[in-house]
Structure 1
Amino acid sequence: MQDNALLSNPLSRKRERAGVRAAVSAPVQNARALRQSPTTAEQLLWRHLRNRQLAGAKFRRQHPLGPYILDFVCLEHNLVVEIDGGQHADPQAQAYDEQRSAWLQQQGLRVLRFWNHEVVQQTNEVLAHVLQALTPALSRLREREVNTED
């Protein structure tokens, strides 16, 4: 199926005739694989975030950024939502998550973390927290729109 997709793109057909295949980076391949096998919590949250359902914000899932693959990210509002399973309770994993969050914050992103069971058992509370994180960004965006109209 992937070959058919490549052949339907004129640029890809041209490369294919020239014997050149576009290389897909390892992070992109990993992100694609993660999108194919989401956890129950990821599936549930994605149902609420996709198609700009939450405050009109565009979320991407399993999005590669730098050395990491982000569970969910809204680039227009600089917000990352991570869903952690039990493996993240390990002290080494916690240290890694702190390092990862620090790097993301250095890139200008805000990071929200939720446990799998929170997303599954308290979906509305998780969505309210995400919405609250989006609200200041939405207010600043609306403020800019008003100021540019003057």
Structure 2
Amino acid sequence: MTNYTLEEKDSFTVLGIGTEIKSHYTDFAGINKEKADFWQTVSQDGTLDTLKAVATNDYIFAVNEAVNNKMMHYAGVMTEETLPEASRIIEFPKGEYLVVKGEGNTADELSNKLAGIAFGQVLPEAKDFAYVGGPNTTVEMGQRNGVVFGEMWIPVVRK
């Protein structure tokens, strides 16, 4: 099985600016394209820089959350501040998280790779814990040697 850990995390809040994902939840190519287009837009129009300006650390969060039966995707940062253009304050609960670490040539590649490992390999094979919903996130933590590195954090419960 792929390298992962279970880690206890304190609750934390991510301030996010988001978009509704319209593709069917099994249309991974469509979902990935919508997310890539969203990230290109927020990177180019200054939205991501606005978020970074109020962040308490250098981490960039790509958050997935079901809200009112809609699949939402957010660009976010950890902060205590709010912004008028922010669309959601995302509360992550205190508890155990599945953490998958990795790297990619781009933030998109990192996010897709970590989601594929977490949802395609680790969770289906897990015997003693399960994801039961709630927000999950890819955390872009930085760059080294020309690659983006980070982690995926998924809240889980013991079976």
TM-score computed with the length of structure 1 as normaliser: 0.26
Greater per-residue strand proportion: 2
TM-score computed with the length of structure 2 as normaliser: 0.25
Greater per-residue helix proportion: 1
Structure number with the bigger relative contact order (C-alpha 8 A, sep ≥ 6) is 2
Greater C-alpha Rg: 1
